[in-house]
A and B are shown apart, each in its own frame.
Chain A
Amino acid sequence: MTQIRDTKTQIDSDIGIIATDVHKWYGNHFHVLRGVSLTVKRGEVVVIMGPSGSGKSTFIRTFNALEEFQKGSIIVDGINLSHDIKNIEAIRREVGMVFQQFNLFPHLSVLENVTLAPIWVRRWPKAKAEEIAMQLLERVGILEQAQKFPGQLSGGQQQRVAIARALAMQPKIMLFDEPTSALDPEMVREVLDVMRNLADSGMTMVVVTHEVGFAREVADRIVLMADGILVEEATPEEFFQNAKEERTRKFLSQIL
């Protein structure tokens, strides 16, 4: 640990997230994360797979401090999350998150959803925030809907707006928690395409997903989580063709 802090500048340059032996309990008895370690390098795309209820959401949400953890350490973008509570908002500015249920703000227009945080958190002038928001909306293919409200869009469109909203803060890391699980099948593709482009542009991404195709093509590494521990960590080829762990093979046989 001390070594990590001493060489902070070096870590800043090539490591996005380093989680070491993270433990979390819900209440006193339910040990949901049981010693999870994961390192995500800058520019890397890490996909987390695993059965439902295994703790994937809980784990990914510790990276932007939406969940607390009780033991271990997490360093995100060079800032240690475990001890310094003051850094929470600093971390969240640099880490974007996309949720399964989109969570767009229903009382704000699409454009206002995207410009809200840049204006209030980054303190950008409205004109600048709107200009960048329009560029992002164009990038995710929602430009024509900028003045509409989230309730007037399809699920796929909403999720693309949610991605644009997160990107508007110009984050260094993006977290995706099952971004396509709440979508009708015909809309999955449009969201995955946006994520693929984002990965191609060099974004550091941690993605919880069941989309095998996406994982196979986009991931640099895939990890399998089961019962609160990381069972396997492998490149996509290894993961899908010759997984080392029995648990992984069992999981793959269920989803493929």
Chain B
Amino acid sequence: MKTLENQQLSQPKITRITPKEWLQQNLFSTWYNSLLTIVLLAGISWGIYGFFKWAIAVAEWEVIKVNLPLFMVGRYPKDQYWRIWLIVGIISSFAGLSWGVIGRKAATLFTIPVLIVLGIISAISLLIPGAVPFKLLLILMVGLVVGNGWIGKQLGNKITTLGRWLSFGWFIAFLLILWLMLGGLGIKSVSTNDWGGLMLTIFMAVVSIFLSFPLGVLLALGRQSTLPVIKIFSIAYIEIFRGLPLISILFMGQIMIPLFLPEGMRPDRVLRAILGLTLFSSAYLAENVRGGLQSVPRGQIEAAKALGLNTPLVLALIVLPQALKVAIPSIVGQFISLFQDTTLLAIVGLVELLGMSRSILAQPQFLGDYAEVYLFNGILFWIICYAMSLGSRQLEKKLNTGH
């Protein structure tokens, strides 16, 4: 016995298994497991084979290629495309800067996964059909992200308050983008009726997200308030908007509001859409935030009060940071569904990505290209939503303080 023990001590058992063993243990452990594996593998292969056969031999990708500008920016005037590129450039630069500042403590920004993602994006930029200047512009955007990431990291380590300035910078950037999109003040104005495609989808989603977040937090706090008026108002608001389907809110916004208000006083239809999305989404966010608020132990509030902090400070410095952190996954989930819900606006006549797709499919020469167009839609939505959920996981990791 003793020698055996000694042997085991001096030679710790290596638990690494070969791929063959892994297969045996996990996929072919019993006869029915093996059967299941084989049937599933056959089914998956058949599906993939069918898909590629269709994608290469049958599908007509012409519809995507020809209409790419429509998918991206709708009927935005062609001679003003430079403004869109400028906007993408601004966003890429700020995204890069923020990335650099957030990752300023890391040894390097360019880890292997990041390099792989950058490589894939660059490859896609070069490989997708299109004119050479278009490809070069895409590569330039990737370059802006990378370059500003590097600058952000350097500056972030020198100027500690850069993070705060950056939030302010984003706000200025937003105003600048709004001006570039709308025009006026020296550049040609573009009506929101000419906004469309992915650009409109992202614009409506982003603005609704940024408006509904503070509203949702206020409603969640209102629901916990000791003042009856505020509490009742918050509960009524939350319950009413959670009880209504989004589509009916959007219909009300697009069709009923114009009936009540005289011509000329009607708010812009994109604005109405954002209003509808915001009102709806904030009710759900309020419930997500409430879940977070309830998870903060009472002792936290008592400790903060015992130090002499007044109620607003207790909320802002102690309760909300902890509550929001807990609620990040559900909040981001809500943002993702808000992003997807923008497609409902196609039904009330907006030409965001889905609406634009439908109007393209209505043209005689593209009749019947449903599969190609909706697959393309699906891929775009999936990429953006997946990026959001990856971002949320990064944020959670960054905020994890080991408790």
Contacts and interface: CB of A to CB of B under 8 A. Distances in A.
B303 A149 contact: no
For A66, A107, A162, the residue with the greatest tally of chain B CB atoms inside 10 Å of its CB is A107
Nearest to B306: A97
A105 B318 contact: yes
B399 interface: yes
A66 B302 CA distance: 7
A172 interface: no
B322 A169 contact: no
A103 B403 contact: no
B402 A152 contact: yes
A101 B298 CA distance: 11
A169 B307 contact: yes
A166 B322 contact: no
Interface in B295-340: 297, 299-300, 302-310, 313, 317-318, 321-322, 325
A96 B306 contact: yes
B322 A106 contact: yes
B401 interface: yes
Given A99-B299, A101-B299, A120-B317, A106 B306 contact: no
A202 interface: no
B326 to A, nearest CB: 10
Interface in A161-202: 162, 165-166, 169
Given A149-B403, A150-B403, A151-B403, A120 B313 contact: yes
A151 B401 contact: yes
Given A66-B302, A101-B299, A116-B317, A106 B403 contact: yes
A92 interface: yes
Given A121-B309, A165-B307, A103 B299 contact: yes
Contact of B302 (A95, A103, A117, A121): A103
Contacts of A21: none
29 contacts: A89-B310, A92-B306, A96-B306, A97-B303, A99-B299, A99-B302, A103-B299, A104-B303, A105-B300, A105-B322, A106-B322, A106-B401, A106-B403, A107-B322, A107-B401, A116-B307, A117-B307, A120-B309, A121-B309, A121-B313, A149-B401, A149-B402, A150-B403, A151-B401, A151-B403, A152-B401, A166-B306, A166-B307, A169-B308
